[in-house]
Each structure stands twice: as structure tokens, then as C-alpha cells.
Amino acid sequence: MLESLNIISCSSIIAAGLCLCASFFFTKRQRTEKALETERIRSIQRKIDAALQDEGFDAAREAFSNTLRTASLTTELQRPRLQNLAKVDKQPPEKYKIMTKLASQGMDAEEIAAILGISRMEAGQLLSLTNMAKCGQ
């Protein structure tokens, strides 16, 4: 009986020792992985710092800023010219007003062309534009 008690206690000691060894190796592995991850983060941080310290980065930023200012200035200079080309504030020519009234009375392109003295093709295009303008309103 004493002998079986010794075997059980030895087995318990061995099992406890194995558990202790396993936990030791697991803890060591976790520390190693954590150290590698920390070093990886520090390496990335060094690369970011080096990229931000690079003189080429500041030069590229300044060049982009200049280009943006130039584009902004060009846009401001072109705006009045574009508004003039679009004739935003001007009324349509008289023949367009007449053509719209004739079309609203049910006349087709051939009749409108004869009255206004324009080609049938032009009258058809003007009717199409008028219809598109009505749809857009």
C-alpha cells in the first residue's frame, strides 16, 4: 500500500512538473511573439518617420500646392469667359421665340422653315432643342 502511495505521489509530481514545463514554454513563446510584434511596430514607425523627414516629400508637397494655386487662379480667370460664351444673361434670338410660338400652334418643321426662311433641317433641329428644353424645365 505504501508502495502504491509512492507511485501515485511520484506520478503527481511528474504531472505537476510537466504542467509547469508546458506553462513555462507557453509563456516564453508568448513573450517572444510579443517582442517580435513590438519590433515590427517600431520598424514601421521608423520608416514612417524617415518618409516624413525626407526632403523630397516637402518638395512634392510644395509643388502640389503651387499647382493647386495655379489651377485655382486659372479657373477664376476663365469663369467670366465661359459665362460670356454660354451667354447666360442674354435672351435667345427673335427667330427662336417665333419658332417656339409656331411650334406650339402645331406647325411642323417644314412649315416653320418656310415662314422663317431657314432650311427644313435647321427648323427640325431647333424643334428638337425646344422640346429638350421643355423636358428640362
Q: Which residues contact 24 (CB under 8 A, 6 or more apart)?
A: none
Segment 34-41 shows an average pLDDT of 94
Length of the chain, in residues? 137
**Does residue 133 carry a pLDDT above 60?**
yes
Of 24-38, 78-92, 106-120, which one has max mean pLDDT? 24-38
Quick one: cell of 8?
501515485
11 against 27, higher pLDDT: 27
**Does residue 38 carry a pLDDT above 90?**
yes
In the prediction, which pLDDT does 79 show? Answer: 72
In the prediction, which pLDDT does 31 show? Answer: 93
42 against 83, higher pLDDT: 42
| Other beta carbons less than 10 A from residue 98's beta carbon | 13
Render pLDDT for 54-106 as a digit per residue (tens, 0 to 9).
Answer: 666 677 778 888 888 888 777 777 777 766 666 656 777 787 888 888 888 88
Q: Residue 54: left (phi > 0), alpha (psi -120 to 50), or beta? A: beta
In the prediction, which pLDDT does 131 show? Answer: 81
**82 alpha-carbon distance from chain centroid:** 28
In the prediction, which pLDDT does 94 show? Answer: 82
In the prediction, which pLDDT does 39 show? Answer: 95
In the prediction, which pLDDT does 35 show? Answer: 94
